Structures are given as C-alpha cells and as structure tokens.
A and B are shown apart, each in its own frame.
Chain A
C-alpha cells in the first residue's frame, strides 16, 4: 500500500510544488528543473504513454474480436490496420537504405509507410471530416429554430458569420440588408398589430427612407458599415465573441488552478485509482 499510495502522492506533491513555485523562485537549479528537466521527463513519459496507448488499443480490439462483441468486424479492421502499420513502420521499409534510413523512412516517398499515409489514412481522415458539411447542413435545417429570443440571437449571428465570412458576403450590399430588415420588421409589426394598413404604412415608410438614403449617398456597397455583413461579422468576432471566450478561458484557468492545488495537496487521488 505504501508503494501504491503514499509514494505516488509524495512524488506528485513534491514535483507539483517545485513546478509551481519554480515560476516564482529565482534559483538557477529550480529554474533549470522547471524549464528543462521536467519537460524532458514529460517527453520521455509521453513517449511511453504512446506505447501504452497502442498496447491498450490492441488489447481492447482483440478482446472484442475474440468474444465477438457487437461491432467486432470493425475491430478486425482496426487490428489489421494496427498490424499493417507496425510492419510498415518497423519491418518492411519498401526502399533501400540509400533512399531512406530507418526512422526517416516514415515520411520518405516510395516507402510502405508513406504509401499507407497517402492512400489509406489521408483519404479516410479527409472523408470523415468532410461528412461534417452534410451533417451541419441537415442539422441546421432541422434544429436551428426561432423558438425564443436567445435562439433568434444565435440564429441571426450564425447567419451573419456564415455569410459575412465568405466572399459572397462581401458582394451583398448593405442597402439590400436594410431592405431585408425593413421587411422583417414589417412581418413583426403585422404579427403584433394584426392590421394590414399599419403594416403597409410601416413598410412603405421604411422602404422610402432606405431608398432616399441610398440616392443621397450613392448606394455605396459597404456603407453604412453597420449593415455590411463582413463588417458586422468582424464586430461579432472581436467583441461579443471575445467577451464570451475570455469568460470561458478565465473559468477554465481557475478550474485548472483549483485542480492543480488539489493534486499538490493530495486531495485529488483519481490518478491512483481512488
């Protein structure tokens, strides 16, 4: 128990404390440990973690195949891919030493590993990501509904970002957007007052004001900027988005700090299975 519990907690507490206080202590040995040695240790451990992860993956997939659990056929493909990658990485280079040395062969043209990357991994990886476009289109069609004020806000900003970010947004005149707003407000006024005369007067006045404004200013495509989609999307990115992102980042930062303190003090022991 001593080796499994107290020693790991002791190591975490000592290393965690040195790493934390290393930022505030101006002592060369501590600084060297934090900036140099600790990261070297981490690199070595990360390399071992890759081996452990790979072994764990193959163990789980083999278990699925052996016990014929649901979806075991996919596991056969996974095991085959794993074995193939091991062979291509460690045993069959596919070219002479004059073309590529062991190690460098992984990214050298003509090798089995590079072939696997170019003609198996890359297309499959790209396919998986490309499917997102279809699902986003389908999901937005069904789920993006104006149910309440928040949903309307989200929808409006989503549309502005989607259209404003791409070149087509740049050729949509701000005057067109103004006419669109007048018409949308007309629909809102109509649903509120339920009176066609009021709606007609509202829309007529709105359209007239926009048209007169356009004739006076000469219909510049990006003026007034407040109705030009690329300008609005930039504003959304720079202000409401940054405000929200900062709030999330500060929250995450505080959470990381609290969790780190729990680890250093030995309160958090999930890493030893408690």
Chain B
C-alpha cells in the first residue's frame, strides 16, 4: 500500500468517526477557553457602533423604552446586551421603562435591574427606572403601547398603580419615548416593534438579537428603520468593549471563536473524506 493510500485511509477513518467524539471535542474547546481566557481583540462593527452612537446622542433624562423578549435559553447571547445597554443608559442618566413581550422576559429584566440599576448605579425605582412587566398578546401589546400605554399597563410588575409612579407622569403612548431598544430572541420581538411601533411613529429604535435572527432584521437596519443592531454574542461583546466594561459576552467570545474554528475544521475534514470516498468509488 502506498503512503498516499495510508494517508487517505486515515482521513476516511476520521470521516467516519463516532459523533460522540465530536461532542467531546466541542465540549473541550468550549470549556477550556472559558477557564483559560485567550483575550482575543474585539473589533466593533458598524452596526454595533451605530447603536452606541444613537444612545450616546440622547440628551440626559430621555425616556428610553427597553423591551425584553428572551428567555433563559438565549440568556448568554441576549442578557449581556441588556446589561450593557442598561449600564450605558444609567451612566448617561436616562429614564428607563421596561416592558416584556415574553413571560420569561420579566425574570430576565428583574435580574439585569438587580445587577445594574440597584447593584452598580443605586438608581431609584419609579424615578429612574420602572419595570412595567409582561402582558400577553404579542403585536397587540406593541399596538397597545403605541396607542395608549396606560390602558395596557394599569399596574407595574410590583403591582403598584402606574398613576402612582412619578416617572410615568406624561407618558401616555409610544410617542412619549425618545428611543426604543428591543432585546429579542424571536417572536414577538424586534420585527413587531419595527412594524407596529417605531416605523409608524418615527421613534428611533435599535435592537439586540440572537445570531440566527440577524438575517431577518438586517433589511430593517439597511433601510434605516432600525439604528444598527447588536448581532448575537459578538454584538454583545462589541458593545461591552464600546462602553469599556467587559462582561460575560467578552469572556464567551474566546470559546465561541475556538468552537467556530473547530467546526470549520470538522467541515474541511469531512469534505476531504468525502472526496476520497468519491474518488475510490469512481476507480472501482
């Protein structure tokens, strides 16, 4: 047997490796960079910079609506975005109003508020931020906020009457907000906010979405209906670098980088084995 044939046999063996080996390798390449960070440099893309610039350009004391529509399953991607956006907003002394289109979103919002608003900035509930909570109905909730938010939210997530919350004075509908940021993992989410709220009213909005959602929201970014987008965990890491406060997204990028490289390596090896198989089947 020639040396070339031996090499080809090795590739064929690799090509038919049990998938459990692939699972183990993926587990290792994800865990190791988390335990031993590489510290790869993070370059902010234009779409992330646009989000940062839009929030930075808001005058102090602007009313910003932050909508949370994700669950624990996409927490590693969406939550660092929410935390970074909150940090940026509170640092600039904006008033933050939080709504949730997903029931789990309320838990995520509460978690982020506890860490950022209470833990880092000592903000006062009802004066600097308010958690209005979750309402069922998807796009109907978005439309309700656009027409009359007080009809939809008579009490906040703490069961306090909205009329008794100081920062709700003068807030009746979506046009009373200066900016919207939607942290979204699917339906209902960013697209519904663009279609039923931001675009018809002209209130600027931006979004942070999971990587698989980027494809569907990109047309809105390109058309200018959305001001930039934070695309998946890389987008979250970019935002962390823009506000100069590293978090879980930055540490997750090393693991994601190595895992992506390994998957590409798998694809290359799989194709080499495929070509050898095809060549041999042609020969015989």
A positions within 8 Å CB-CB of B: 35-36, 39-40, 42-43, 46-47, 49-50, 101, 103-104, 106-107, 114, 117, 121-123, 125-126, 128-129, 133-134, 136-138, 140-142, 144-146, 155, 158-159, 162-163, 165-171, 230, 234, 237-238, 241-242, 244-246, 249
Contact = CB atoms under 8 A, between A and B. Distances in A.
A167 B22 contact: no
Contacts of A163: 260-261, 264
B276 interface: no
A242 B219 contact: yes
Contact of A138 (B23, B40, B107): B23
Contact of A166 (B76, B138, B257): B257
Nearest to B24: A134
Contact of A165 (B19, B140, B234): B234
Contact of B43 (A103, A107, A144, A170): A170
A175 to B, nearest CB: 18
Interface of B: 19, 22-23, 25-27, 30, 40-43, 45-46, 71-76, 104, 106-107, 110, 135-138, 140-141, 143-144, 146-148, 151-152, 157-159, 211, 214-216, 218-219, 222, 231-232, 234, 237, 253-254, 256-264, 266-267, 269-271, 274-275
A107 B144 contact: no
Contacts of A47: 136-137
B40 A162 contact: no
Looking at B219, B231, B234, the one whose CB has the most chain A CB atoms below 10 A away is B219
Given A43-B136, A134-B26, A230-B45, A141 B218 contact: no
A103 B159 contact: yes
B148 A36 contact: yes
A171 B73 contact: no
A43 B152 contact: yes
Q: Which 5 A-B pairs have the closest CB atoms?
A: A168-B257, A129-B73, A42-B140, A167-B40, A122-B72
